[in-house]
Amino acid sequence: MSTAVPHPLLSVAPARLRPTQLSVGKAEVAAKRAQWEKLGRKKRKALLGSHCFPAVLGPGQHVYIVDHHHLGLALLEEGVESVAAIIQRDFSWLEPAVFWRTMEFNRWAHPYDQHGNRADYDAMPTRLADLRDDPYRTLAARVREAGGCAKDAAPYAEFLWADFYRPRLKLRRGKVDAGVVQQALLLAHGHEAAYLPGWSGAPG
């Protein structure tokens, strides 16, 4: 059966988008909401017009996004009525278990919870609103923004950085403050982090 998509561009309500991961950095979502709130009507329209969520059509004709979960959740919380989704593959005819195995094989799904533990496919949330907070995912993003590592195109690269930091740094009440970011930056340039995507090497 062909998985080609005759009409790949859809207009979808954020509430109907389904995630392909279990967690996000909620502080990053808050930052994207703050950026959105600063935009005027024309710039908001331009942003929505220029941005498409890459997605896969899954069982039940549900639209599963494979990237930009933070932005999707931010737009949902801001009450945006619709966004553009570009359907890359049609896997709607697959059984759910086969669908998720296929998604993971293609690196379009990340079945790990907010603690970095492997989860069953059944644990995947069906709404963006149900994504859990992983503060270490936020820490990984802060490190990248501060120049601790390069942005890498590999899927879920920042989750790998988050898992690197979990056993090495404690976050008080799950908060990522300036002090923790400085400690994380030092670790980012160490040899122990050399296996991570975007590692920029030890400081000269």
Taken in order of first residue, the domains within the chain and their CATH numbers are: 9-133 (3.90.1530.10), 135-193 (1.10.8.10)
What's the pTM?
0.92
Quote the tokens at residue 21: 């991961």
CA dihedral 55, 80, 114, 100 (to 10 degrees): -20
pLDDT tens for the chain, 204 residues long, are 555 665 689 999 999 999 999 999 999 999 999 999 999 999 999 999 999 999 999 999 999 999 999 999 999 999 999 999 999 999 999 999 999 999 999 999 999 999 999 999 999 999 999 999 999 999 999 999 999 999 888 889 999 999 999 999 999 888 999 999 999 999 999 999 999 999 988 765
Quote the tokens at residue 171: 């976050």
Nearest to 15 by CA among 84, 81, 87: 81
Nearest to 71 by CA among 58, 54, 87, 59: 54
Angle at 105 between CA 7 and CA 85, to 5 degrees: 25
Q: Does residue 43 contact residue 144 with C-beta atoms inside 8 Å?
A: no
Output the pLDDT for position 192: 96
Output the pLDDT for position 1: 53
Q: What is the pLDDT of residues 3-40, one digit of tens each?
A: 566 568 999 999 999 999 999 999 999 999 999 999 99
Output the pLDDT for position 203: 63
